[in-house]
Structure 1
Amino acid sequence: MLRVGVGLLLGTSGALMFAASWQRWAGACSWGDGDSGPCSVRQDHLYDFVVPTGPWEPVGNAAELAGWSLLVLALAFVALPWALTGRRPGVFSATALVGVVLATAAVGVATLRSGLSGDVVEPFAPYLVGYVWFLVPTVLLGRFAVAARGWALAAAIWLFLATPFIALTSYAIGPYDARPWWEAAWGVLTALAGLCLLGAAAFGARPRREHPGDAHVPDAAQPSRTISPTGIH
């Protein structure tokens, strides 16, 4: 059930990010188009909504949708180690996880507030939060991917590709400023991670849990032995 819950949260986050990307690019850029006049204008960082920085021009409800997407993603991260690896994270991973959850939530709140107000709202401690949100998820998901297996490993890889560091240093870079529909690609990768976790819940092997008392349960296939005055029977 844990994997189902996290998978649904990741799918919801991906769908919200895709919808936010639609707000920015639909009507200005067709898929694969980057050279037309309206599309080249929309690529300007002026319209970026992940994360809004001044000067900024809101486009539809893109920032609100992206803010909710990041907040749902932060919630999914809370239980992500158990969903991907099946065990409790170590001290280093747990500390990094707390930082990622708080930073992602802070960026999500700032993005949502920016969309609602129409003006740029910075997160609390913007430099610290920004660096943690940008760098740490990639390292953390790489660690989880090493420990994951099967469907969960596929989920970790898709989610690794949807981290801010990977996105903003590769497929978010366009011919002018931002690549058209890059946020949609981020959303699709996140949703694919969610689908893989649902696959892990449905088809993945379930390891047998041993209880402390299991070793003391007598084997029913063996005859019982009793002690009598004449010996053991």
Structure 2
Amino acid sequence: MAWTHVTLIEDNTEIREFLSASLRRLKYDVTAVGSGAQGLSVAASRPDGVVVLDLGLPDIDGLDVLKMLRAAVQTPVLVATARDDESHIVRALNLGADDYVVKPFSAEQLDARIRAVLRRSGELREETVHSVGGLVIDPRAHTVTHDGVLLEMRPKEFQLLSYLAKHAGRVVSKDELLTKLWPNAYGISEKTIDVHLSWLRRRLGETAAAPYYLHSVRGVGVKLIDPDR
């Protein structure tokens, strides 16, 4: 079986070499680079596996690299940062990071986080296509169409819609969404869910005041319904 590929974007030479060697001992195929531009090039050529992204890069701000990664590939991104303030971590997660780890960390901790994000992304790829009204959500192709028209989706919007579609007709609590879509994420609150639901409603051409597919149940959660039923 082929080893999982890791694109490691880390500007500190000592850390980069240590993590590369450690991950290879843990049976990963590693491409390690020291700049955001190099990392974007490698990630685009190797959309499989996972990206480990340091935010303190010399050429491009790490959050900008994250935005560009999310525009180009669907590869899971694990942010490695020395910035442990809540607002910065929340921003990274809201921009599409799948998880984060705060420096200093061990290779074993990084291994566990990589395995976790790969499990979650694998679960999405293994799901079947879901149809709810005019919506068709295909986790394997990572596409959403509405009445045959392809909709653009940010990664977290897609994950949120996919999870709700899997449980269509059932009220899903915000706690459940936080647990399933942002596991181990420090500083994430229900407001994060509200923001992503607002973005998702915009994609679907509806609002909280005039719901069509997404219906909130005050104090309970949200459910995705077939409006024609």
> Smaller-chain TM-score range?
under 0.3
After TM superposition, the score normalised by the length of structure 2 is 0.26
Structure number with the higher strand fraction is 2
Of the two, which has the highest radius of gyration?
1
After TM superposition, the score normalised by the length of structure 1 is 0.26
Higher relative contact order (CA 8 A, sep 6+): 1
